[in-house]
């Protein structure tokens, strides 16, 4: 149960979580066995709400399958308010783990550890509701649809922080690549923003034997693919980070016909909105310029997706203080590199200060032998040993934040 990771394994918090550890392991495995896709998390939401209510925590629904728990104690009207967020949706992946609690829903799987995220937060809520004393308000945010259409953005647009205002909001994600129970946290960028890139090239097609009578759309599209890579190296500072990838090219049906249309589909990843806007402008100008030079035309569509997830300095410092009071120093890491993957918690951090950090998921054998089973794969499973450490981290952070009067 990883109690060797904490500073004081005999504390009331750790003792309480140890007492209920097996119950929450079974709960996590039940969530794993019954995954639900984005915006379909009805049974998951019902179970979360029933548990919160059974512990005396008031609940409300937001964005259909989102569950909000409201816990107020002491002189809460003068106290601070903190939001703790866990995502709850699964992925359209067929599980291949052979676990006794593997998915009962064909083609659907908790392959990103959201089953563990909500269990860690529920374990913390259980302790905070039944045992903890504090002055203030804790808002438990169980968020749907992280994997598909940015449920965090939907909740914000549906009035999350107007209906349930908080002084700061936090999220934890499990992380393959660090030993189970270890905490990784730092200021600044954590996850990238995304933008879909769609480029349709239109030309005059014709016989492959007579390309001089055509405008070769395949050649033009190929020039665009190569040209796009110059944007990163020659238009933004070497101190900034961005990635353009073309992942699909569609055009033509025969080896002896030059098509009159070729479509490119790709993605842009970035950490800075100004860098995003500059690159988007260059993508459009470069594609149109290359097409004009060859006598073709194009349509460029750039569709913004998730925005970057960027931690706020002050709120990250508060979280670090809380973590350092709980976790032994050798199990805390301050140097994790930002990821070009995307996470919709950025929409919450855009509206409210806070931080996003990680808890290691690897067993000792996986980590030492580099046998990494990655997120979003059919063999991934959340590490149940993290329920205690993650629940304790959540509870300790909430109590530390509410006691911090600055």
Of the listed ranges 2-11, 55-64, 168-177, 361-370, the one predicted with least confidence: 361-370
Neighbouring CB atoms inside 10 A of 321's CB total 13
- Give the per-residue pLDDT at 203: 97
Same domain for 253 and 146, yes or no, is no
Q: Across all residues in the chain, what is the average pLDDT?
A: 96
Q: Does 135 participate in catalysis according to the annotation?
A: no
Q: Which domain-ending residue is among 259, 274, 305?
A: 305
Same domain for 289 and 340, yes or no, is no
Same domain for 57 and 142, yes or no, is yes
Averaged over 239-247, what is the pLDDT? 95
Q: Which domain-ending residue is among 305, 338, 360?
A: 305
Q: Does 167 participate in catalysis according to the annotation?
A: no
Number of structural domains in the chain: 2
Of the candidates 21, 146, 343, 362, the residue annotated as catalytic is 146
Find out whether 270 and 218 touch, Cβ atoms under 8 Å: no
Terminus-to-terminus CA distance in the chain, angstroms?
A: 34
Same domain for 226 and 349, yes or no, is no
Of the candidates 36, 87, 89, 223, the residue annotated as catalytic is 89
Q: Which domain-ending residue is among 305, 321, 346?
A: 305
253 is in an annotated binding site: no
- Reported as a single tens digit per residue, the pLDDT across 278-317 is 999 999 999 999 999 999 999 999 999 999 999 999 999 9
Residue span of the structural domain in which 261 resides: 193-305
312 is in an annotated binding site: no
pTM, 2 dp: 0.94
DSSP state of 99: -
298 is in an annotated binding site: no
Closest CA to 217 of 248, 263, 255, 253: 263
- Give the per-residue pLDDT at 364: 64
Within a domain: 3 = no
Q: Cα(119)–Cα(32) distance, rounded to whole angstroms?
A: 10
147 is in an annotated binding site: yes
- Reported as a single tens digit per residue, the pLDDT across 65-80 is 999 999 999 999 999 9
- Give the per-residue pLDDT at 363: 79
Same domain for 207 and 181, yes or no, is no
For residue 368, pLDDT over 70 is answered with no
Same domain for 75 and 181, yes or no, is yes
Closest CA to 117 of 382, 355, 392: 382
- Give the per-residue pLDDT at 4: 86
Within a domain: 2 = no
Same domain for 289 and 376, yes or no, is no
Within a domain: 217 = yes
Same domain for 272 and 322, yes or no, is no
112 is in an annotated binding site: yes
Give bridge partners of residue 270 from the DSSP assignment: 193, 242
Same domain for 185 and 200, yes or no, is no
Same domain for 180 and 32, yes or no, is yes
For residue 371, pLDDT over 70 is answered with no
- Reported as a single tens digit per residue, the pLDDT across 167-213 is 999 999 999 999 999 999 999 999 999 999 999 999 999 999 999 99
Averaged over 90-95, what is the pLDDT? 98
């Amino acid at each position: 149960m990883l109690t060797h990771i904490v500073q004081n394994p005999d504390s009331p918090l750790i003792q309480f979580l140890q007492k209920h550890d097996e119950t929450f392991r079974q709960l996590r495995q039940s969530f794993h066995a019954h995954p639900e896709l984005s915006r379909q998390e009805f049974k998951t939401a019902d179970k979360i709400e029933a548990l919160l209510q059974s512990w005396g925590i008031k609940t409300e629904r937001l964005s259909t399958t989102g569950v909000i728990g409201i816990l107020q104690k002491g002189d809460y009207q003068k106290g601070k308010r903190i939001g703790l967020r866990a995502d709850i949706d699964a992925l359209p992946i067929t599980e291949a783990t052979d676990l006794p609690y593997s998915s009962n829903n064909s083609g659907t799987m908790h392959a990103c550890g959201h089953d563990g995220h909500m269990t860690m937060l529920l374990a913390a809520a259980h302790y905070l509701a039944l045992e903890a004393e504090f002055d203030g308000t804790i808002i438990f945010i169980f968020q749907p649809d992280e994997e598909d259409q940015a449920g965090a953005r939907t909740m914000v647009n549906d009035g999350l922080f107007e209906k349930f205002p908080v002084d700061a909001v936090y999220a934890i994600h499990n992380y393959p690549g660090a030993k189970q129970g270890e905490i990784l946290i730092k200021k600044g960028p954590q996850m990238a923003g995304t933008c879909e890139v769609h480029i349709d090239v239109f030309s005059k097609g014709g016989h492959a034997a007579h390309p001089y009578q055509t405008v070769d759309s395949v050649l033009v599209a190929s020039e665009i693919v190569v040209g796009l890579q110059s944007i990163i190296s020659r238009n933004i500072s070497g101190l900034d980070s961005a990635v353009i990838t073309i992942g699909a090219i569609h055009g033509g049906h025969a080896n002896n016909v030059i098509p009159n249309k070729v479509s490119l589909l790709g993605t842009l990843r970035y950490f800075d909105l100004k860098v995003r806007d500059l690159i988007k402008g260059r993508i459009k100008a470069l594609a149109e310029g290359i097409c004009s030079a060859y006598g073709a035309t194009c349509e460029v569509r750039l569709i913004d997706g998730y925005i970057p997830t960027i931690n706020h300095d002050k709120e990250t410092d508060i979280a670090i203080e809380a973590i350092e009071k709980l976790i032994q120093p050798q199990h805390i890491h301050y140097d994790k590199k930002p990821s070009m993957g995307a996470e919709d918690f950025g929409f919450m951090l855009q509206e409210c200060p806070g931080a996003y950090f990680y808890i290691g998921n690897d067993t000792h054998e996986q980590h030492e032998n580099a046998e990494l089973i990655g997120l979003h794969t059919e063999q991934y499973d959340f590490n149940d040993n993290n329920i205690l450490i993650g629940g304790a981290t959540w509870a300790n952070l909430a109590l530390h934040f509410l006691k911090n009067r600055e």
